[in-house]
Amino acid sequence: MNRVIFSILLGCAVLAAQPGTDINVVRAIRLQNFKQNYVGSTIRFIGPGSISVMGVLEDVTDQSLIISHNNSPVAYSHTEIDYIFIDPGFTDLLMAFGVGLLGGTASYMAVIISKEKPHPSVKGVVSSAGTVLAGLAGLKAFYKPIKIDISGKTRK
């Protein structure tokens, strides 16, 4: 009985606390976390007027993002920006290719184990198909931009 009452009270506390959060406080926390984790990274976002901006993040202030374009800092107001994207890098591409190679090797081993003397063309087709399918899965899993929400919205 005590567990049921405790669960109900905890659920009510969580539901009551969510609407009471201030959008500006949530946004400030997200911006602080963004600054701590991504200073020095190449970012991109859609600015006011649907202008795409890309550059290296140098600093995040209370009112603006400071982006480096050709080694010169430019400040952009982040009041109308809800999402920032971090594009995948070379290591993400290596991960995707590694998954493809692993899939090709696994499919080749599966053919050798399943048949006693497989035909060389069967080994080639199966390992090629395994490499392509695993490579596509690796690209979908590892080679995609990271979407960072810096808006103050907590519910969708």
Q: Is 71 exposed, middle or buried (0-12, 13-18, 19+ CB in 10 A)?
A: exposed
Between residues 124 and 80, the one the model is more confident about? 124
Q: Where are the domains of the chain?
A: 2-87, 90-142
CATH class label, 2-87: mainly beta
- Taking the C-alpha atoms of residue 135 and residue 132, their distance in angstroms, rounded to an integer, is 5
Answer yes or no: pTM beyond 0.75: no
Yes or no: say if 52 and 46 are a contact pair by the CB < 8 Å rule.
yes
pLDDT tens across 63-97, in order?
888 888 888 888 888 888 888 999 888 988 999 99
